[in-house]
Copies of this chain bind each other. A is one copy, B any other.
Amino acid sequence: MSQLSPVDDTFRARLRALLPEKALREDMDPYVQELRGAYRGRAGMVVAPGSTEEVSSVLAAANEARVAVVPYGGGTGLVAGQVMPEGPAPLILSLERMTRIRRVDAEENVITADAGVVVEELHRAAEGVNRLFPLSFGAQGSARIGGALASNAGGLNVLRYGNTRELCLGIEAVLADGRVMHTLTRLRKDNTGYDLRNLMVGSEGTLGVITGAALKLFSRPTRRATAMLVVPSPAAALKLLALARDHAGEQISGFELISGESFRFLEATLPDIRRPFHPAPDWMVLTEVGLSGTGDAEGMMAGILEAAFEAELVTDGVIAQSEAQADELWHLREAIPEANRAIGAISSHDIALPLSALPEFIEEGTAKLADLGPYRLNCFGHLGDGNLHYNVFPPAGEAKADHMGAKRAIMDLVHDLVAGYDGSFSAEHGVGRLKVEDLERYGDPVKLEMMRGIKRLFDPNGILNPGAVLRAED
């Protein structure tokens, strides 16, 4: 691989000649910051092309000049995939001007959009034709669909509708040398060769720049019933999920685990958010069924609850009596990350486990952490997907700064344990730059070798998001 060069005046002049004035961004500061403040990126220039053709010429120029390119969506990634703190000053390629919804096919349940469309805009466009675009996560008001695809974002609706990957039918992407892969089909079935769409999805900007996508829409569930339930243990929560599925099949829209610690953190940092159950129970589940047509969602939820009480899987619970109450329960769930940030975690983990291993993992993890020190643990998240946010905090009353020395030990403890249960050290956030070492440590070595080969094939000069996912090669 050839050496990368920093953006220099010659390169800047080259891009200024290629792009219209409005594609140039003078203020580079917003693009080098990162939500959690753990990284600060470098930048030699920021451009925001307005079309696939412009993205293509920018990449061709960067590839020729061996200038690193950091593709940039909404900047909401949590693993530093969008900031490059080391190496020769890169070009930041923002998709913020590619915000056209290309077409909405309501009858066929497809929306086709530029990569720069904000996720929430897709929600609105779908709503406009009485459809649902289900991708839903905290940052949906600023995250762009190209970034969500590049990182295969998850969120609150994965249980029912899948990750971003499963929502994508076709993709248009520009390769490192500027060639455009025109595979933006709206087809539900297409067995014509290797699946390069899914190779691009989740590649975190290291194999190409996604410029457009065709995405699935769904019928809007018109009746929903939402409940927050107290469960005796995570094992009971899993049995409750199986029971709920026997009643409702795929119509369970959400199944979130909430810990007592979540409630205590909310009480301490966001006391205005109303919480049911006092004192806070150890474990709760927030669940929702969503039905189409004239289905009786409340009756279904009542049936689930009755059976669950009978089976002693639930000991207490509230069912939302109005849309406002349902929204309030979801708001509580969505506020947990904010409470966590206010408390300040020593180490946060976005892990996945085989569902049946979850209860044992939680038990063993809690015991092993206690051996390490009197840390507080907030373990919550997308239980139905086997995806926990497993965050470790300093003891009550102590400062985070005094415990950062334990971060690596905590992280290794958690990730080693996860690996022992055949789990994943990154369920939905990706690898980015934060977890490159974890991938090297826990990834299958043959898969890693083939990944490196694919990186060299798609990006022989290594210009695309160097250092993300895979260590930059010399």
Contact = CB atoms under 8 A, between A and B. Distances in A.
A274 B242 CA distance: 40
Most B-side CB within 10 Å, residue of A158, A188, A195, A248: A188
Given A191-B428, A294-B303, A450 B443 contact: no
A interface bracket (residues with beta carbon within 8 Å of B): 35 or more
Number of copies: 2
Contacts of A109: 245, 355
A246 to B, nearest CB: 6
A354 interface: yes
Given A107-B355, A199-B198, A163 B189 contact: yes
A446 B245 contact: no
Contacts of A163: 189
A442 B424 CA distance: 39
A395 interface: no
Contacts of A102: none
A385 interface: yes
Contacts of A439: 192-193
A198 B103 CA distance: 27
Given A166-B166, A439-B192, A187 B356 contact: no
Given A250-B250, A453-B457, A192 B424 contact: yes
Contacts of A73: none
A247 B219 CA distance: 9
A458 interface: yes
A447 interface: yes
A451 B175 CA distance: 13
A63 interface: no
16 contacts: A105-B356, A107-B355, A152-B191, A154-B189, A158-B188, A179-B449, A181-B450, A185-B354, A188-B355, A189-B387, A193-B443, A194-B203, A196-B447, A218-B249, A219-B246, A454-B454
Interface of A: 105-110, 151-152, 154, 158, 162-163, 165-166, 175, 179-183, 185-196, 198-199, 201-203, 207, 218-219, 221, 238-239, 242, 245-251, 290-295, 300, 303, 352-356, 382, 385-387, 422-431, 435, 438-439, 442-444, 446-451, 453-454, 457-458, 469
